[in-house]
């Protein structure tokens, strides 16, 4: 009986219209993303806002899909409002949710836009030989630019009617690095150009980047959660049954015994009715960065050339790792390097700019035991080494 009721409810909640917000519920079937073991509240203490460099890959078939630079830039503006609680809707959040409204302290900088004409229709959701075509030059799309250093957003047509999707880094079957990013349909991207209502305020990308930072839908697993059985693993978002697909409800809207935070970015509510992330979501997102995406900490906003996908320095070796009192880098014989070392919470613990190449010694006696990330930067190229201090 219970299963029958669940099936009926699931069927009732399936999108009936030609388009819908996000395809991630399908990706999660039988694949519950678990919250990572993380450093909890510690991870949100004492740090600067992170600035995530973004590469936008416009992969177009029909001319309108080749969206303008202005439309791309409008999306970056939306992200920089939504992830800093600077969006106008933040002021409309019901008083009951105000105490948990979070400034995510995450910003975005556009470092490159690539443009690729393709003859594959709906390439954003097409696979060949198990590979997501839009992510590969060889399959009609465009290669990612170093996903450990950049957020790659592919803007491309789809076959599933959804506005977007994005894998969670903590899902049980993570995607290959080459396909790690966010996928958005061109008419759901940005806040100008061909973006069309009700998805014309850039919130699909805000939502999908939420997934990319390991945030789940507020109702938990599946299309909806009518029996209130699954949760988003975040304590300060109320348990919720519905997805609010294409809706713009009024507060209070109740399910699972409490008022729903339908205006949270991780719902399917219309763009105009989305308003906030919470402190709990912020903690989960920041934990995901230090756990799964440490390369973003201290990443560079220097523009990268779309025609130079290899942005990594080679010929750098790290000696004496794990280290106690010292470590050393073998640097190529050229130019000036910037060497910055970050701890697991993203705090800068060392920075120096040695000139020339050769062996560069680093005194690590003041470092406490643990994992560190060494960023070596030269002419806009970055290489990351993982350093383990053991005593
Ligand atoms: Zn989603």
Same domain (yes/no): 235, 159: yes
Q: Which residue has the tokens 């040695």?
A: 354
Are 78 and 265 within 8 A, CB to CB? no
pLDDT at 26: 44
Determine the distance separating the centroid of ligand 1 and the alpha carbon of 52, expressed in angstroms.
20
Determine the distance separating the centroid of ligand 1 and the alpha carbon of 225, expressed in angstroms.
14
Q: Are strands 370-378 and 317-319 parallel, antiparallel or unpaired?
A: unpaired
Residue 5 belongs to a domain: no
Are 316 and 330 within 8 A, CB to CB? yes
pLDDT at 391: 86
Neighbour-count burial of 48, counting CB atoms closer than 10 A to its CB (0-12 exposed, 13-18 middle, 19+ buried): exposed
pLDDT at 336: 67
In sign, the C-alpha dihedral spanning 274, 278, 282, 288 is negative
Task: Indicate if 224 belongs to the active site.
Answer: no
pLDDT at 125: 98
Same domain (yes/no): 291, 336: no
pLDDT at 386: 87
3-state DSSP assignment of residue 13: helix
Same domain (yes/no): 211, 75: yes
Q: Which is the catalytic residue, given 208, 221, 224, 283?
A: 208
Closest CA to 50 of 281, 289, 254, 319: 289
Q: Note the residue count of the chain.
A: 391
Residue 304 belongs to a domain: no
Closest CA to 61 of 137, 20, 119, 131: 119
Same domain (yes/no): 256, 384: no
Buried b / exposed e over 274-285, threshold 16 CB at 10 Å, is bbbbbbbbbbbb
Same domain (yes/no): 152, 250: yes
Residues with Cβ within 8 Å of 138's Cβ and at least 6 positions away in sequence, in order, are: none
Same domain (yes/no): 379, 237: no
pLDDT, averaged in runs of 10, over the chain (391 residues) = 42 53 61 38 58 96 96 98 97 97 96 93 97 95 91 97 96 91 98 96 98 97 90 96 94 96 97 98 96 87 57 72 91 74 76 79 90 79 83 86
DSSP-derived letter for residue 223 is: S
Among 268, 295, 322, residue at a domain's last position? 295
pTM score over 0.85 = no
Determine the distance separating the centroid of ligand 1 and the alpha carbon of 344, expressed in angstroms.
28
Residue 112 belongs to a domain: yes
H-helix segments, 111-215: 203-212
Are 290 and 344 within 8 A, CB to CB? yes
Determine the distance separating the centroid of ligand 1 and the alpha carbon of 309, expressed in angstroms.
29
Same domain (yes/no): 378, 264: no
Closest CA to 81 of 162, 202, 165: 202
Residues with Cβ within 8 Å of 127's Cβ and at least 6 positions away in sequence, in order, are: 133
Q: How far is CA 203 from CA 29, 100, 324, 363, 371, in A?
A: 24, 20, 47, 46, 35
pLDDT at 24: 84
Structural domain tally of the chain?
Answer: 2
CATH number at residue 347: 2.60.40.3080
3-state DSSP assignment of residue 74: helix
Determine the distance separating the centroid of ligand 1 and the alpha carbon of 25, expressed in angstroms.
7
Closest CA to 146 of 32, 305, 269: 305
3-state DSSP assignment of residue 132: strand
Question: C-alpha angle with apex 67: 66 to 70, nearest 5 degrees?
Answer: 150
CATH number at residue 183: 3.40.390.10
């Amino acid at each position: 009986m219970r299963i029958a009721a669940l099936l009926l409810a699931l069927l009732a909640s399936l999108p009936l219209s030609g388009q819908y917000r996000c395809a991630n519920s399908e990706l999660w079937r039988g694949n519950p993303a678990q919250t990572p073991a993380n450093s909890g509240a510690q991870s949100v203490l004492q740090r600067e806002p992170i600035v995530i460099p973004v590469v936008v890959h416009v992969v177009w078939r029909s001319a309108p899909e080749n969206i303008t630079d202005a439309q791309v830039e409008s999306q970056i503006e939306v992200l920089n409002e939504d992830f800093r609680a600077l969006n106008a809707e933040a002021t409309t959040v019901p008083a009951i949710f105000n105490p948990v409204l979070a400034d995510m302290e995450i910003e975005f900088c556009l470092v490159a836009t690539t443009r690729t004409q393709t003859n594959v229709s709906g390439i954003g959701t097409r696979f060949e030989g198990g590979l997501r075509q839009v992510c590969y030059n060889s399959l009609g799309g465009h290669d990612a630019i170093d996903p450990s250093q950049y957020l790659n957003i592919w803007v491309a047509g789809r076959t599933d009617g959804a506005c977007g999707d994005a894998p969670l880094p903590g899902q049980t079957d993570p995607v290959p690095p080459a396909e790690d990013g966010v996928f958005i349909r061109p008419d759901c991207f940005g806040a100008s150009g061909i973006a069309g209502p009700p998805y014309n305020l850039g919130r699909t990308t805000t939502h999908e980047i939420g997934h990319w930072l390991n945030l789940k839908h507020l109702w938990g697993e599946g299309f909806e959660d009518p029996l209130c059985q699954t949760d988003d693993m975040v304590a300060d978002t109320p348990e919720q049954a519905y997805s609010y697909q294409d809706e713009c409800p009024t507060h209070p809207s109740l399910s699972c015994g409490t008022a729903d935070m339908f205006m949270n970015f991780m719902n399917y509510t219309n763009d105009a009715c989305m308003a906030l992330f919470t402190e709990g979501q912020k903690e989960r997102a920041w934990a995901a960065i230090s756990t799964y995406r440490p390369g973003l900490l201290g990443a560079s906003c220097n523009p990268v050339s779309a025609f130079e996908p290899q942005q990594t320095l080679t010929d750098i070796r790290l000696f004496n790792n794990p280290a106690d009192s010292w470590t050393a880098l073998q640097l190529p014989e050229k130019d000036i390097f910037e060497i910055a070392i970050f701890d697991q919470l993203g705090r800068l613990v060392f920075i120096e700019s040695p000139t020339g190449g050769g062996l560069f010694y680093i005194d690590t006696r003041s470092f406490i035991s643990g994992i560190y990330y060494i960023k070596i930067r030269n002419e806009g190229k970055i290489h990351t080494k993982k350093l383990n201090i053991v005593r």
